[in-house]
Amino acid sequence: MYLGLDLGTSELKALLLSAQHEIVATAHAPLSVQHPSPLWSEQSPESWWEALETVMNALYDQHPEALAQVQGIGLSGQMHGAVLLDSNQAVLRPAILWNDGRSHVQCDELTAALPELSAIAGNLAMPGFTAPKILWVRAHEPAIFEQVHCVLLPKDWLRLKLCGEAVSEMSDAAGTLWLDIAQRDWSDRILAVCGLTRAHMPRLVEGSARSGTLLPEWSQRWGIPVDVPIAGGAGDNAASAIGMGIGVGCSGEGFVSLGTSGVVFVASDQYTPNPEKAVHAFCHALPNRWHQMSVMLSAASALTWARRVLQIESEAALLELAASVPPATRESAPLFLPYLTGERSPHNNANAQGAWFGLTAQHDSAALAYAVAEGVGFGLLDGLETLSLGATNDLSVVGGGSRSDWWLQLLADIFQMNLHLHSGAQTGAALGAARLGWLATGPQTTAHFEAVCIRPPIEKTFSPSTHNVAWRAVLARRHGRFQALYQATHRLMGAHSG
């Protein structure tokens, strides 16, 4: 049995995986995000531990015999968050999260101080990354910065609690801007510009490798065998790829993640940065593998926002309402810019804002709902077009948004690609974490990776409606208007281009 722990933004999920690749049990605990000022997004690390205790207690109450068979533990988590610790490992302030946009000034300062930044880190400086957050703390909370002894990413703070060691791994560390992506090692030059050294950084391992062992007190509390290894793990998107069996063998395999944020992920056995297009080039969770990502900050979370504003009971009901708009009238529907919390790819604009545009007295809540579902798809398409997809015309789909067949069909039509929904798609990152825990118990070989990271069965495939030429033309025209709308309005948003 293998245990995967996935620390998301809105919940912490635990998953038990058998050696026969069966998901034996899952448990969930909700998390809340605080927004103390505009553009700010924070969480208390203590709330992560409370959530972990909740899910582990639930598994212990309901599946003690399965926990007693756990041989490996893997971690995945939301990327980029800054957890600042003092010399006693006490948390100095709430963690600044991936979707926090306060540090755009520090991005400019970092780029000016080190023009070679993107050549080393493979990425542009964006407010979402960890390094600009630390520069913001140094500028605005100097007393806290002076006490910083160690900087950890969210899942790595949980690791510290679980095994007592400060360790990170390549896929998550790549999202800090402190990693030399090609060398898979901390960059002393970038750290120095931020007023830090290697002494402030956790030890690095590969995601499939052992990072430590579970402390005896937790083994006793939850009935887990002693000395169970904890894998390096992965950032949430790399973990989802492992859960889908993507990036183990062939290059060019990829997926779309419809979570709080929206991600298009493409794996490669080559390091192929493209910072000019705001593409993220990161290490994968397996040795000698990398990936590209485009990231939009509001995907399924845009549905949640619209549901609340339109006073609809659920995201599923919102999508049902959107689906009720007759195809013949969709061309006259409003457009929706999904930039509710700024945007990364391809705009790199922390000040980007959302909008419904083109409203008339004839539009109703169904038209507004349709515009949101379509607008998220157009935002994902803009990111997709920046990636090196090669000849592939297929992507897998993961995340909570993959529950709607209607939305997946709309996205297949927008992308003009086949979208495959696999078994366990909603558990992607937690499944990937469990598999990485499994990998840490065996040899670090391609054969072991391929045996563990199998592709889950395809449940459904959504193919573009290639026979409907008129519908394709409607979407193409609306996408063109969507892009023109952003270009016409981004200066009115107080836009900041990095």
The question of whether 236 is a catalytic residue gets the answer: yes
Q: Is the peptide bond before 346 cis (omega within 30 degrees of 0)?
A: yes
- H helical segments located in 41-181: 45-62, 64-67, 104-113, 117-121, 130-140, 142-147, 154-163, 170-173
Written as six digits, the tokens of 278 are 């705001």
Q: What angle do CA 180, 339, 420 make, to 5 degrees?
A: 75
Do 204 and 170 meet the contact criterion of CB atoms below 8 Å apart?
yes
Do 178 and 133 meet the contact criterion of CB atoms below 8 Å apart?
no
Do 213 and 227 meet the contact criterion of CB atoms below 8 Å apart?
yes
- Using N-to-C axis directions, what is the helix angle for 365-384 and 469-489, rounded to 10°? 80
Written as six digits, the tokens of 150 are 């160690």
Written as six digits, the tokens of 450 are 């391929």
| DSSP per residue, 181-205 | TTTTEE-HHHHHHTT--GGGSPEEE
Q: Is the peptide bond before 127 cis (omega within 30 degrees of 0)?
A: no
Q: Measuring CA to CA, which residue among 233, 82, 204 is closest to residue 152?
A: 82
How far is Cα 471 from Cα 320, in angstroms, rounded to an integer? 20
Burial label, 121 (beta-carbon count in 10 A; 0-12, 13-18, 19+)? buried
Do 489 and 342 meet the contact criterion of CB atoms below 8 Å apart?
no
Contacts of 475 by beta carbon, 8 Å cutoff, 6+ apart:
413, 414
How far is Cα 395 from Cα 421, in angstroms, rounded to an integer? 9
How far is Cα 24 from Cα 152, in angstroms, rounded to an integer? 31
How far is Cα 231 from Cα 242, in angstroms, rounded to an integer? 13
Of 100, 156, 172, 236, catalytic: 236
CB atoms near residue 251 (< 10 Å): 18
Task: Specify the pairing of strand 11-17 against strand 23-30.
Answer: antiparallel
Contacts of 437 by beta carbon, 8 Å cutoff, 6+ apart:
2, 3, 4, 71, 72, 73, 74, 229, 230, 231, 233
Beta bridge partners of 263: 257, 295
Return the active site residues. Answer: 236
